[in-house]
Structure 1
Amino acid sequence: MTILVTGGDGYIGWPTALRIADRTDERVISVDNYGRRRWVEEIGSQSAVPITTPEERVVAASDQLGITNLSFVRGDLVDRSFVDELLSIHEPETIVHVAAQPSAPYSQINGDRANYTQHNNLQSTRNLLWGLKEHGMTDTHFIETTTTGVYGAPDFPIPEGGATMENEGKRDEVPFPAMAGSWYHLTKSHDAANLRLAHKQFGVPISDVRTAIIYGTETEETRASDALKTRFDFDYYFGTVVHRFCAQAAEGYPLTVYGKGEQRKPFASLEDTVEGLARLALADSADRSDDFAVYNQVTRAISIVEIAETIDSVAAEFDFDTSVEHFENPREEDETHAMEIENDRYMSLIGDQRQTFEEGVRDVLETLARHSDRIESHEDRFVPDVLLSDGTAEANGESDSVPAESD
């Protein structure tokens, strides 16, 4: 048996490949094209955590954890010939597809980046799905991290998968309508539709894992060595609101909440995210909930103001001088939106939540305290407002309390 993990150099992909390899004797192949490193460098930032190359990580996994069944392949999934070669050589029985350009703000910069994001993300997924069909591998379990962003922010509870539609007295379950709010999120809406079609036409067993906004720096395995750390982005484009707030706290800036900040967003820790993907990847077919299943990879919804207040409280443990300040909201949004999202299937998969929000924040702040020089040199990438000489902030709308997803 071989398990393929795409996006294996990424924030989620690397610790996921590491955990899967640690829990099985089967071969685990990590695949990446170094895209995330290029994109973050392009927008003038860097990972707060120094990271080694994928090849060096594989060596460290062997040295530090005794993992000898993990290997790395460099290649671009947009290249159909590479995908064909990858599938024909390794014949994976499971694919965990985490590879994507994951930033909504990056996809919104201009038309070129919007086109790039859509081509990169959609072509990669189609190449893999059609590759399975054309290589006679339609029994391969295909797990993809899409995003809870496909749901938008409706005023009714978000189901775990489809929606019930009623017309002229008749009811049926239909795929949830694409209500995405960025060119990136639409790639995942299209992917979700393509996954459903591949299941219907080819019979490929599908797990559509709709990933929430992820926070944290550590998993059980990455704690073992600095050489095993995953990347951590804190900038406007690839950092989430939690990570940007933590960077502000570490550098002594106020945590800037725009408006009331009572709108809730779906979150999950990196630890809980990796656990769910690993369990799906290692599950026997008889243990999977369905041949086509949607999982809302969410442990809880949290308001922006609660995020800020929690970070402010934990920051005191590290003697960081910060505070929570409210400013006029430069965006038109519902500042009190009480998101409700079902997650029974996902919580049943992972069991109890493995890391609380406060514990995840503590991990982040501890990490940033050790690498303060790396974020201090890039303050213009995460400070969300024009800072005035008196240390207060004036909202300019460049960045706000609505988080950028990063998976």
Structure 2
Amino acid sequence: MTILVTGGDGYIGWPTALRIADRTDQRVVSVDDCGRRRWVEEVGGQSAVPVADPNERVAAARDRLGVSNLSFVEGDLTEKSFVDELLRVHEPKTIVHTAAQPSAPYSQINGERANYTQHNNLQSTRNLLWGLEENGLTDTHFIETTTTGVYGAPEFPIPEGGATMENGGERDEVPFPAMAGSWYHLTKSHDAANMRLAHKQFGIPISDVRTAIVYGTETEETRDSDRLKTRFDFDYYFGTVVHRFCAQAAADYPLTVYGKGEQRKPFASLEDTVEGLARLALGDADDRPEDFVVYNQVTRAISIVEIAETIDEVASEFDFDTSVEHFENPREENETHKMEIENDRYMSLIGEQRQSFEDGIRDVLQALSRHTDRIESHEDRFVPDVIRDETESVPAQSD
């Protein structure tokens, strides 16, 4: 049997493929068109941690971990003919679909990037779902990483999937309404709706894994060799708030909290994220869902100011000279929003949180301490104007 991991050259996709392959004798096929590398270069960024090319990573998995069942295929999932051939040749019993253009700010740059993001993300998912139907593979477990961003920021606790709606005295559970705040996040709202329809029409068992803001540099497997590392982006467009703060600390800049920074966001470490996807992919046949199941891939909600203060505290262990500073918020947002999000189903899946936020930050700063030159050479990508005292506007920041 074969497990297919799309986006296998990406930040989450690569360590997920590696973990799955390390835990099973099944064939694991990683597929990607290496778009993330092009997009980051396009906006003037680079990974702080050097990353090997996909085939070198696969060779390192064999040499360092004894993983011989992992292979890489380069291809574009928006091309239906490629997807059909991929499915016919490998006949996967499980697909872990992590491939996407994942940056909200990138999707907001202009109409061209918005169109590209929507076409790339939606077309890839539709091709896979219809490919399963048209190639007689509707018993394949389809696992997709969508995003908690589909929920928006409601004032009530966010359910793990559907919502109960009442009208005229009647009650029913309905899909949570799409409240996405970017052209990227809206692609995942559409994907969720398309997956629900594919389950209804084709009977495909589907796990919609709504991934929180992921931080970290290492998993159990990637620690073994520099050739196994996953990427670490820290620019405005592809770096999350945690990664940008860590880059600021490594470059001895203050950590820039906009406004009060008391709003809470959902987070999960890379280790906890990879573990959940691997467990879903490797579950026993009896544990495979027959329905459309939603997981909120979150371990905890953390406020922006708590993130900054934690990074500042851990940075002192590495002799980084940094501090937390508050600046006027250039964005319109609720600086005190206390997000609550249910995650019982996901925590039941992974058993318990495998890495604390503090330990995740130590991992990151340990890695960045080896590559401060790569960070400092791209400081214009993560140091905002409030520090650089430039007149150009501050780009929108991704979460």
The residue that corresponds to 2:78 in the other structure is 78
Report the aligned-residue RMSD. Answer: 1.2
Residues 219-298 of structure 1 aligned to structure 2 (within 5 Å): 219-288=219-288, 290-298=290-298
Instruction: List alignment gaps of at least 5 residues for structure 2.
Output: none
The residue that corresponds to 2:398 in the other structure is 404
Tell me by how many angstroms 1:385 deviates.
2.2
Whether the 8 Å CA contact 1:7–1:97 is kept in 2: the answer is yes
TM-score, reference length from structure 1: 0.96
Which residue identity does 1:339 align to in structure 2?
M
Residues 195-214 of structure 1, C-alpha deviations (whole Å, 9 max, x = no match): 00000000000000000000
| 3-state SS, counterpart of residue 244 of structure 2 | helix
d(CA) in 2 for partners of 1:396, 1:341: 36
The residue that corresponds to 1:14 in the other structure is 14
Tell me by how many angstroms 1:286 deviates.
1.7
Tell me by how many angstroms 1:79 deviates.
0.5
The residue that corresponds to 2:61 in the other structure is 61
Residues 56-100 of structure 1, C-alpha deviations (whole Å, 9 max, x = no match): 001000000000000000000000000010000000000000000
| 3-state SS, counterpart of residue 387 of structure 1 | helix
Residues 114-263 of structure 1 aligned to structure 2 (within 5 Å): 114-263=114-263
Which residue identity does 1:200 align to in structure 2?
K
| 3-state SS, counterpart of residue 73 of structure 2 | strand
Whether the 8 Å CA contact 2:15–2:219 is kept in 1: the answer is yes
Tell me by how many angstroms 1:327 deviates.
1.1
Stretch of structure 1 that moved more, 17-26 or 252-261: 252-261
Whether the 8 Å CA contact 2:207–2:289 is kept in 1: the answer is no
1:46 matched to 2:40? The reply is no
Tell me by how many angstroms 1:12 deviates.
0.2
| 3-state SS, counterpart of residue 15 of structure 1 | helix
The residue that corresponds to 2:305 in the other structure is 305
The residue that corresponds to 1:319 in the other structure is 319
The residue that corresponds to 1:339 in the other structure is 339
Which residue identity does 2:58 align to in structure 1?
V
Tell me by how many angstroms 1:394 deviates.
8.1
d(CA) in 2 for partners of 1:362, 1:288: 36
Which residue identity does 1:10 align to in structure 2?
G
d(CA) in 2 for partners of 1:13, 1:61: 15
Which residue identity does 2:126 align to in structure 1?
R
TM-score, reference length from structure 2: 0.98
d(CA) in 2 for partners of 1:57, 1:200: 38
The residue that corresponds to 1:37 in the other structure is 37
Q: Could you list the runs of 4 or more consecutive aligned residues of structure 1 that deviate by over 4 angstroms after TM superposition?
A: 393-397
Q: Percent sequence identity over matched residues?
A: 83
d(CA) in 1 for partners of 2:391, 2:231: 29
Q: How many residues align?
A: 399
Aligned pair in 2 of structure 1 residues 166, 361: CA closer, same or farther (>3 Å)? same
| 3-state SS, counterpart of residue 138 of structure 1 | coil
Instruction: List alignment gaps of at least 5 residues for structure 1.
Output: none
| 3-state SS, counterpart of residue 143 of structure 2 | strand
| 3-state SS, counterpart of residue 369 of structure 2 | helix
Whether the 8 Å CA contact 1:4–1:94 is kept in 2: the answer is yes
